[in-house]
Amino acid sequence: MAILPILKYPDPVLKQPSVPVEEINDEVQKLIDDMTETMYQAPGIGLAANQVGALHRVIVFDVSPPEERPKPVVIVNPKIIAAEGEVKYTEACLSVGDFSSEVRRKARVTVSGLDRQGHPLEIEGEGLLAIVLQHEIDHLDGRLFIDRISRLKRGLYMRQIQKQMKK
Ligand code: NI
């Protein structure tokens, strides 16, 4: 397993939609292992493949309580098949750095996909699990949480990173 560099905004790869995995081969298995290790090392609670430069539809996450970790969940080709309710949650992202903001999301989602053995799975979630599922699937569609906040708040973030880049 290897710890991979995590791409940061405004890296253009983060804006690219990822393509579905057609075969869960050794390369994809290795990607899953590396993503899992990279996520824990960051540390983060979720990671999408394009955050480490691989444009495959693969996400990993672990929202279990600290004492139960590690309990990584992998979804290949995740897809939201049902969603309801509304919730606001303060989000951050390993690709966005030192910035967090409230984002409006669906309160409950059902996601279908494949596990790493290629078996179909379905995960129904609310609370943090629902947020993480939507946040990571957004990544696969080339979308960051800062794309879902107000223009005013995004402006604050833009000025913040411009300052950091000048340093
Ligand atoms: Ni993220």
Domain ranges of the chain: 12-166
Q: Give tens-digit pLDDT for 69-114.
A: 999 999 999 999 999 999 999 999 999 988 999 999 999 999 999 9
- Residue 122: active-site member: no
Residue 2 Cα to ligand 1 midpoint, Å, equals 20
Indicate the SS3 state at residue 75. Answer: strand
Rounded to whole angstroms, the Cα distance separating 80 from 155 reads 30
Q: Give tens-digit pLDDT for 8-31.
A: 999 999 999 999 999 999 999 999
pTM: 0.95
pLDDT value of position 20: 98
What φ, ψ does residue 147 adopt, rounded to 5°? -80, -10
Looking at the structure, give the CATH architecture of the domain made up of residues 12-166.
Alpha-Beta Complex (3.90)
Residue 112 Cα to ligand 1 midpoint, Å, equals 20
Rounded to whole angstroms, the Cα distance separating 167 from 161 reads 10
